[in-house]
Amino acid sequence: MSTSVSLTRDMYFPYARWRMLPLEATVLTDGFWSQRQSINRRITLQHGYQMLEKAGNFHNFRVAAGLADGHYRGPVFLDSDVYKWLEAVAYELHVHPNVELQQQADEVIALIEAAQQSDGYLNTHYQVVEHGQRWIDLDFGHELYCAGHLFQAAVAHHRATRSTKLLAVATRFADLLCNTFGPDKRQGACGHPEVETALVDLYRVTHRSAYLDLAKFFIDQRGKGVMRGMNWMKAEYHQDRVPVRQASEIEGHAVRAMYLNMGVTDLYLETGEEALLAAMQRQWQDLVSGKLLLTGGVGSRYEGESFGAPYELPADRCYCETCAAIGSLMWNWRMLLATGEGRFADLMERQLYNGILSGLAFDGWNFFYMNPLLSQGDYGRQPWQIVACCPPNIMRLLASLTQYLATQDNAGVQIHLYNTATIRAEPSIGRPIALNMQTDYPWQGRVQIGIQGADGSTWQLRLRVPEWCSQVIATINGQPIDIPRVEAGYLVVERAWQLGDVISLQLPMEPMLVEAHPRVDAVRGSLAIQRGPVVYCLEGVDHPGLNLMDIRLDETAPLQADWREDILPGGLMVIQATGQVVESADWQQRLYRRFSDDGVLRQSIPLIAVPYYAWANRGANAMRVWIPRIKTG
Amino acid sequence: MSTSVSLTRDMYFPYARWRMLPLEATVLTDGFWSQRQSINRRITLQHGYQMLEKAGNFHNFRVAAGLADGHYRGPVFLDSDVYKWLEAVAYELHVHPNVELQQQADEVIALIEAAQQSDGYLNTHYQVVEHGQRWIDLDFGHELYCAGHLFQAAVAHHRATRSTKLLAVATRFADLLCNTFGPDKRQGACGHPEVETALVDLYRVTHRSAYLDLAKFFIDQRGKGVMRGMNWMKAEYHQDRVPVRQASEIEGHAVRAMYLNMGVTDLYLETGEEALLAAMQRQWQDLVSGKLLLTGGVGSRYEGESFGAPYELPADRCYCETCAAIGSLMWNWRMLLATGEGRFADLMERQLYNGILSGLAFDGWNFFYMNPLLSQGDYGRQPWQIVACCPPNIMRLLASLTQYLATQDNAGVQIHLYNTATIRAEPSIGRPIALNMQTDYPWQGRVQIGIQGADGSTWQLRLRVPEWCSQVIATINGQPIDIPRVEAGYLVVERAWQLGDVISLQLPMEPMLVEAHPRVDAVRGSLAIQRGPVVYCLEGVDHPGLNLMDIRLDETAPLQADWREDILPGGLMVIQATGQVVESADWQQRLYRRFSDDGVLRQSIPLIAVPYYAWANRGANAMRVWIPRIKTG
């Protein structure tokens, strides 16, 4: 582990309001996410390696490299899973050297290198199955999508190890792309965005402006309405209905939409083109005002794995692919860097603790692809999927999670996510800062930050005040801040910090009931339970003998938080609530009847709500986030 | 038009509780369905003919017949649209001779005959595209499905015209099927059921038991779990998860499920095998207790156009394909014949007036494929579709609608649907009966039936008491029936009928509010308006300047029916109701917030509800069937 923060050029994005810290600047020393990173490190990454072997991903590279015989296996985009796994491993190796992982990564990189064609082209499906017929199906071929994931893995690996081996593979391919696509060359863009954000990142590491130009070219290609779409959806499936700068609606395949927006925001961060940021702001508003699930899940529809109409937010058949929530987090991160507005970090937090974390089982071995908010009991976790995009996406997110905790600018340091950690920064050259954050977040709202490196100079510390928090109490060295200065969702404290200074934040975490906008039909008359950033759910296993579809929540009864070690490893905070059970025997197995507003007296029962992310860790069983309240029957 | 009822052998189903009347025995002389049949006759059938030319359906036959050059056009199942149109034309010609239609039908039949291969095989896709590679994809090839529609068209044409020309084409193909498939021959069944019901009908006309055996063989093939399924759905997509006799759940692709059940019930009607009927009863109960939309629409999910989980009944994204509702009606008709229970006719009525009729525009030219119960305004009607199964399905249903009005058994006559009509029957040989039904149904609940042919003998008249009717008042020759005898949903009147006797039914039709089962999340806290069999909706065009998503229904205010001639051709009954508009400005474009049970006083506004089937006849605009009631905000 390096001991000084060496902020490289590639972390400075010209139009970023705030600047990223290098991955190693922040270390999770304990707490909630440290536990999850540990499981990812010890279990999930090895599981991934084995599954990539079993599912044929490595096999495909061997066949493409001429090292093995056989047919290509799996869907066209299988290469990308290898790259995402490699990206995750690179982040891990950056902070936690590990001989076994290092060897596996080196072998896989050697295999990738061996499979690359002499002119730089690399895609095992097209090399093996289509025999070199490149770019014949940009809409669905996923060649550029896979290339993008290669580039991201290469950038991560280079940043982690300073090795140029995988980066050289990436730039050879990227150079081929630059020679192939462009205003005077081949037109078109990939049906699944990804290469755009990756090219910008590759530019940041290599400083080759051709990569940035190509990212812009691909982004500019969209909106011609020429892509094929899927089922009832036409070009909007691929975000090809309107040009990027004119887009106001978030639409189509949710992962595609999020990945495109990552690239567009990256392009803004490098070029400062206001039209791009304005389009992103419009789309973001469209998302949060009509198309976002309470868990931060995105993509309301199974068909096309896509966004739906405004307020179309079904609890049962929302798709909420894990990858889409991860993509949204990555997009919101870029928006946060661009604007310095806490609402983007708020959404990241919502997604992290809920709609993303639900994607990985406590055991580190099993995954959700869809993350519904209601299940009647038949949906369980899987160790892998035929379309296995989500597992390695979770791996790379967890391995790189520390990068999202804090940023810096010339004025000081900003903290976005709370977890026990050490953070080192250098807002202005030669003035290193070290912070030591202690917290039991998300179970307790107390965050304590000790200043461990400071030279008495004046700088700003910004601490995010989460959207769910109605009142923030802050003290410095035990003295309350009387009139806290809050800007764009951040408490701003500017002073001449001394070694040993301690700033404390108290974010009141009483359990609360949440309601949805009155235009949302799907959860009308229902309430959800939330505490801090954590959204809760009822699980069938905690309510034996009851059908969760018959439970009503007593909205007038108190909610009680209760720490429990006995439910799942590591413990979790449950919420005790009160409910009633509806008798529907008088419906006589009918679905509809003449309305009668009879009140039925029912007996009170205790309810136990567990964090949404924790559901289905005790087997597939019924679950619901939104609970009808008593008044609506 | 023939003047005597010649009940042929093929209308006697051995295990039918009630027997069908020949198509010509019932004539709609005026009223609601007479108008719709007239539009079908004058406009829709000709439109269909032109669209079949334009879409390439006829072209495909010409190419297969060697009469034209070119490629096959459209999806694999295009032949079936021709057959369904032809079936509709046959029903029409049966009752209303028409030289132009007759010529078109003859030409099309000649074309079909010319395309048939010498061994009887006939499928233009497989002949033109696959060059005779038959049965290579039973799961999705639709060869047997198309064959089934050919057989049904041939049976209808034969019954209408006594011509054997198309019937000969059908039997040649059916004989080939008998020689190809069977216990000791090729195994498997079509991924899209249809041939099963058609083979039974072909057997009824031809008395060739091999066809009945083959229908049974195909039905017995299901449930081996070998069919491929679609997307996340496996074999259940094709109703191939469990054997037919063990099935309790209605599942998978909705049209496929309904068509299979038509065939299974037909097989029961011929064989009397109780296990088949029991399985159908279980599935029916599963349908009506958890998977039926208020409009009678079936298929809750877009993905796989399929049934969903119990109580998964979204208003916005229910698929409710027109063909599925038609298939359900046809299945329920067979269940009615098998059991004599009015609940099946009740469901037919629900579907006819709502989820089926919505599929055809007032102009006779435009169609709905999906029939949602909520639209935010972007869904409009189309003159045809690439997958154009629904338009000719509506045509054949309307053209043959009279067959569903009445049945007979040895004891008398049963009337299931009410419309102004003449009905002739012959419950026992040589005792012809003639009835003259007068009614303004579904706008008025008064039905008057005059006995126009009777010889003073005693027989039973059964009149369905609709499920929506809370109280039935009946008179004979003006004298009230004091204690009406009601059996299985029918008023039973047994007497020595005299010429000139008049029985009157008064079915009170006050508008009513309907609620859904408390397990249905999607419409919780919402009510629908219904009057008689007609389900109502609010349409945006009647509420200018308002967003229908913001409207609340005052469940305490009276509902008022009002006949209006000025809204759509032919007039319709609207319902005046009272509502309120929710202000959501204080939500500040957020979707979720801390719950507060504040009541907001809002101003009352008048609401106008129109029949659901009539929506989107004044352009694409917002619509909702379920309206949140005031109490739930």
Which of A308, A591, A597 comes nearest B555 by C-beta?
A597
The CATH-assigned architecture of domain A238-404 is Alpha/alpha barrel (1.50)
- B521·A316 Cβ contact <8 A: yes
Q: Which of A4-18, A256-270, A434-448, B491-505 has the lowest mean pLDDT?
A: A4-18
User: Which pLDDT band holds residue A94 (cuts at 50, 70, 90)?
Assistant: confident
Asked if the C-beta of B471 comes within 8 angstroms of chain A's C-beta atoms, the answer is: no
Mean pLDDT in residue range B576-590: 91
Whole-number Å distance between alpha carbons of B441 and B448: 11
**Residues 530-549, chain A: which have Cβ within 8 Å of B?**
547, 549
- B518·A550 Cβ contact <8 A: yes
Is there a contact between A75 and A140 (Cβ–Cβ < 8 Å)?
A: no
User: Which pLDDT band holds residue A9 (cuts at 50, 70, 90)?
Assistant: low
Asked if the C-beta of A517 comes within 8 angstroms of chain B's C-beta atoms, the answer is: yes
User: For residue B546, what pLDDT is reported?
Assistant: 94
Higher pLDDT, B446 or B4: B446
User: For residue A633, what pLDDT is reported?
Assistant: 44
- B550·A518 Cβ contact <8 A: yes
Whole-angstrom CA distances from B598 to A520, B595, B601 are 18, 9, 10
Q: Which residues of B touch A378 (CB under 8 A)?
A: 309
Which of B555, B594, B628 comes nearest A524 by C-beta?
B628
Query: Amino acid identity, residue A94?
Result: H
User: For residue A2, what pLDDT is reported?
Assistant: 36
Angle at A560 between CA A554 and CA A561, to 5 degrees: 135
Please tell me what DSSP assigns to residue A367.
B
- B316·A521 Cβ contact <8 A: yes
Please tell me what DSSP assigns to residue B475.
E
Please list the active-site residues of A.
305, 389
User: For residue B601, what pLDDT is reported?
Assistant: 62
- pLDDT (tens digit per residue) in A456-509: 889 999 999 999 998 889 999 999 998 889 999 999 999 999 999 999 999 999
Is there a contact between B428 and B446 (Cβ–Cβ < 8 Å)?
A: no
Given a cut of 60, whether residue A313 has pLDDT beyond it is yes
Which of B517, B524, B632 comes nearest A591 by C-beta?
B517
- The shortest C-alpha distance from A519 to chain B (Å) reads 5
User: Per-residue b/e over A64-103, b at no fewer than 16 CB within 10 Å?
Assistant: bbeeeeeebebebbbbbbbbbbbbbbbbbbbbeeeeebee
Mean pLDDT in residue range B157-186: 96
User: For residue B322, what pLDDT is reported?
Assistant: 98
Is there a contact between B123 and B78 (Cβ–Cβ < 8 Å)?
A: no
Q: Which residues of B touch A512 (CB under 8 A)?
A: 594-595
Q: Which of B146, B178, B323, B389 is catalytic?
A: B389
User: For residue A1, what pLDDT is reported?
Assistant: 32
Contacts of A395 by beta carbon, 8 Å cutoff, 6+ apart: A40, A44, A45, A48, A84, A85, A88
- pLDDT (tens digit per residue) in A219-272: 999 999 999 998 888 999 999 999 999 999 999 999 999 999 999 999 999 999
Asked if the C-beta of A350 comes within 8 angstroms of chain B's C-beta atoms, the answer is: no
Query: Amino acid identity, residue B427?
Result: P
User: For residue A192, what pLDDT is reported?
Assistant: 98
Q: Which residues of B touch A550 (CB under 8 A)?
A: 518-519
Task: Work out the number of other CB atoms within 10 angstroms of the CB of residue A229.
Answer: 19
Q: Which two tokens stand for residue A474?
A: 């802050």
**Residue in B202, B339, B348 with CA at minimum distance from that of residue B280:** B339
- pLDDT (tens digit per residue) in A121-157: 999 999 999 887 999 999 999 999 999 999 999 999 9
User: Which pLDDT band holds residue A186 (cuts at 50, 70, 90)?
Assistant: very high
Interface test mutation site (partner B, options A253, A285, A524, max chain B beta carbons within 10 A): A524
- B591·A316 Cβ contact <8 A: no
**Residues 264-293, chain B: which have Cβ within 8 Å of A?**
285, 288-290, 292
Asked if the C-beta of B467 comes within 8 angstroms of chain A's C-beta atoms, the answer is: no
- φ/ψ of residue A584, rounded to 5: -120, 15
User: For residue B5, what pLDDT is reported?
Assistant: 44
Whole-number Å distance between alpha carbons of A171 and A185: 19
Given a cut of 50, whether residue B3 has pLDDT beyond it is no
User: For residue B10, what pLDDT is reported?
Assistant: 63
- pLDDT (tens digit per residue) in B518-533: 999 999 999 999 999 9
Is there a contact between B433 and B413 (Cβ–Cβ < 8 Å)?
A: yes
Q: Which two tokens stand for residue A463?
A: 């601490």
User: For residue A8, what pLDDT is reported?
Assistant: 55
Mean pLDDT in residue range B43-62: 98
**Residue in A151, A140, A147 with CA at minimum distance from that of residue A122:** A147
Please tell me what DSSP assigns to residue B253.
B
How many H-runs (helices) and E-runs (strands) does chain B carry? 15, 24
Assign domain A407-506 one CATH number from 3.30.200, 2.60.40, 1.10.1060, 2.20.28. 2.60.40
| Start-to-end C-alpha separation, chain B | 58
- pLDDT (tens digit per residue) in A342-395: 999 999 999 999 999 999 999 999 999 999 999 999 999 999 998 999 999 999
- A238-404 against A407-506: fold identical: no
User: Which pLDDT band holds residue B599 (cuts at 50, 70, 90)?
Assistant: low
Q: Which residues of A touch B316 (CB under 8 A)?
A: 308-309, 312, 521
- The shortest C-alpha distance from A123 to chain B (Å) reads 25
Mean pLDDT in residue range B103-126: 98
Mean pLDDT in residue range B128-137: 92
Which of A316, A516, A591 comes nearest B516 by C-beta?
A591
User: Which pLDDT band holds residue B236 (cuts at 50, 70, 90)?
Assistant: very high
Asked if the C-beta of B154 comes within 8 angstroms of chain A's C-beta atoms, the answer is: no
Calculate the average pLDDT of chain A.
95
Task: Work out the number of other CB atoms within 10 angstroms of the CB of residue B172.
Answer: 17
User: For residue B8, what pLDDT is reported?
Assistant: 55
Asked if the C-beta of B595 comes within 8 angstroms of chain A's C-beta atoms, the answer is: yes
Whole-number Å distance between alpha carbons of B293 and B372: 9
Which of A303, A527, A549 comes nearest B303 by C-beta?
A303
Q: Which two tokens stand for residue B368?
A: 């709905």
**Residue in A430, A570, A409, A560 with CA at minimum distance from that of residue A34:** A570
- B521·A518 Cβ contact <8 A: no
- pLDDT (tens digit per residue) in B287-296: 999 999 999 9
Which of B232, B519, B555 comes nearest A595 by C-beta?
B555
Asked if the C-beta of B517 comes within 8 angstroms of chain A's C-beta atoms, the answer is: yes
Is there a contact between B578 and B554 (Cβ–Cβ < 8 Å)?
A: yes
Given a cut of 50, whether residue B2 has pLDDT beyond it is no
**Domain residue ranges in chain B:** 31-218+365-371+383-404, 222-359, 407-506, 512-632
Is there a contact between A456 and A445 (Cβ–Cβ < 8 Å)?
A: no
User: Which pLDDT band holds residue A85 (cuts at 50, 70, 90)?
Assistant: very high
- A308·B317 Cβ contact <8 A: yes
Q: Which residues of A touch B591 (CB under 8 A)?
A: 288-290, 292, 294, 313, 516-517, 520
Whole-number Å distance between alpha carbons of B613 and B350: 11
User: Which pLDDT band holds residue A341 (cuts at 50, 70, 90)?
Assistant: very high
Give, for B126, the enclosing helix (H) or strand (E). helix B124-128
Residues shown for chain B: 633
- B516·A311 Cβ contact <8 A: no
Is there a contact between A83 and A150 (Cβ–Cβ < 8 Å)?
A: yes
User: Which pLDDT band holds residue A601 (cuts at 50, 70, 90)?
Assistant: low
**ipTM, 2 dp:** 0.94
Asked if the C-beta of A374 comes within 8 angstroms of chain B's C-beta atoms, the answer is: yes
Q: Which residues of B touch A231 (CB under 8 A)?
A: 302
Asked if the C-beta of B248 comes within 8 angstroms of chain A's C-beta atoms, the answer is: no
Is there a contact between A413 and A422 (Cβ–Cβ < 8 Å)?
A: no
Is there a contact between A576 and A562 (Cβ–Cβ < 8 Å)?
A: yes
Q: Which two tokens stand for residue B549?
A: 């998503």
User: For residue A3, what pLDDT is reported?
Assistant: 37
Q: Which of B305, B349, B426, B539 is catalytic?
A: B305
Which of B289, B520, B587 comes nearest A589 by C-beta?
B289
**Residues 226-245, chain B: which have Cβ within 8 Å of A?**
231-232
- φ/ψ of residue A88, rounded to 5: -60, -45
The percentage of chain A sitting over the pLDDT mark of 70, rounded to a whole number, equals 97
Whole-number Å distance between alpha carbons of B209 and B14: 14
User: Which pLDDT band holds residue A199 (cuts at 50, 70, 90)?
Assistant: very high
Query: Amino acid identity, residue A408?
Result: Q
Q: Could you tell me the strand order of the sheet in which B406-409 lies?
A: B19-20, B406-409, B412-415, B458-464, B490-496, B485-487
Asked if the C-beta of A521 comes within 8 angstroms of chain B's C-beta atoms, the answer is: yes
Partners of A423 in beta bridges: A26, A435
With H, G, I as helix, E, B as strand and everything else as coil, classify residue B337: helix
- The β-bridge relationship of strands B526-531 and B485-487 is unpaired
Mean pLDDT in residue range B159-183: 97
- The shortest C-alpha distance from B569 to chain A (Å) reads 30
Mean pLDDT in residue range B559-583: 95
Is the backbone peptide bond immediately before A442 cis, with ω within 30 degrees of 0? yes
